[in-house]
Structure formats: structure tokens, C-alpha cells
Amino acid sequence: MNLSAEIEFKVDFNDCDPMRIVWHGNYINYFERARCALLDKIGYNYIDMENSGYSFPVTEVKAKYMKSLRFGDVCRAKATLIEYENMIKIEFELYNAKSGELTTKGMVSQMCVEMASGKTQFFCPKCFTEKVEHFLSNGGFD
């Protein structure tokens, strides 16, 4: 399975500490930007989740920082879906777009919760898995 999405954006001043280095917590926000692009690509974004009666709270976040991004750098963020049947698990890679250097790697897990009952589901709903499987079976094309 290779379902991924990439985005690029310029590092904003308000993302940085006084030394103009991206504050460590903001890398998680960068993961979120890439995750939203991936979910849009699949056709099941956060609004679609809500409309289908499910939420997907984050249950685990991992980040490995290898090199800092700085104010004015262009970040290339890649999100890759690695699990979708029992939970959503996405791996992330952040790069300095100019140098091509990998700066940060990460992973986020999300469990499915039925909104009406508040109960954790130990599977992802068909409305999501069918979209992923359709996308994968068509070689990444709708």
C-alpha cells in the first residue's frame, strides 16, 4: 500500500521561537496539515467523518527531530497512510524543500469513535475503508 500526499508551505514567523527556529510543538501542526491533504485526497476529510457519524481522536503521536526548520524555510510535508482497517495510522516526513534534507519523522494513530454512542470502534467504518480501497485499486486515481 502506498497512499500518500505531499504539501509545501513556508515556515511562518509565528511558528518559531526567539532564535527563529520552529518550536518543537509546531511540527505536530505540520503533520496535521499533511494529514488533512491526505484525507482530502482519499475523499474522507474531517467534515466527511462528522457527517458519517464518526470521529477519529488521536491516540498516539511520535516525532523524531533530526534537523531544525527555520523561519523562511519551505517545508515539504509528506503523509503516508500505513494502516486503515482497525485504526488510522499515518507516517510523516518533513523536509527542507530547498536542501532536500529530511528534518523530522513522525507517526500519528487515530481510533474510530461512533459519535452517537461515544463508543470506541475497533475497526474503521466501511465509508472510509471503501474509499481507501477504491483509491488503491485504481492506482491512486479516482
Q: How confident is the model at residue 71 (pLDDT cuts 50, 70, 90)?
A: very high
pLDDT at 139 over 80: no
Q: Which residue has the cell 457519524?
A: 53
CATH number among 3.30.70.2190, 3.30.70.100, 3.40.50.300, 3.10.129.10, domain 3-130: 3.10.129.10
Question: How is the chain split into domains, by residue range?
Answer: 3-130
pLDDT tens digits, one per residue of 1-45: 689 999 999 999 999 999 999 999 999 999 999 999 999 999 999
What's residue 65's pLDDT?
98
In sequence order, what DSSP letters do the residues of the chain get, joined into one string? Answer: --EEEEEEEEPPGGGB-TTSBB-TTHHHHHHHHHHHHHHHHHT--HHHHHHTTEE--EEEEEEEE-S--BTTPEEEEEEEEEE-SSSEEEEEEEEETTT--EEEEEEEEE-EEETTT-PEESS--HHHHHHHHHHHHTTT--
Work out the pLDDT band at 142, boundaries 50, 70, 90: low
Angle between helices 26-42 and 126-137 (to 10 degrees): 80
User: Taking 80 as the threshold, does the pLDDT of residue 101 lie above it?
Assistant: yes
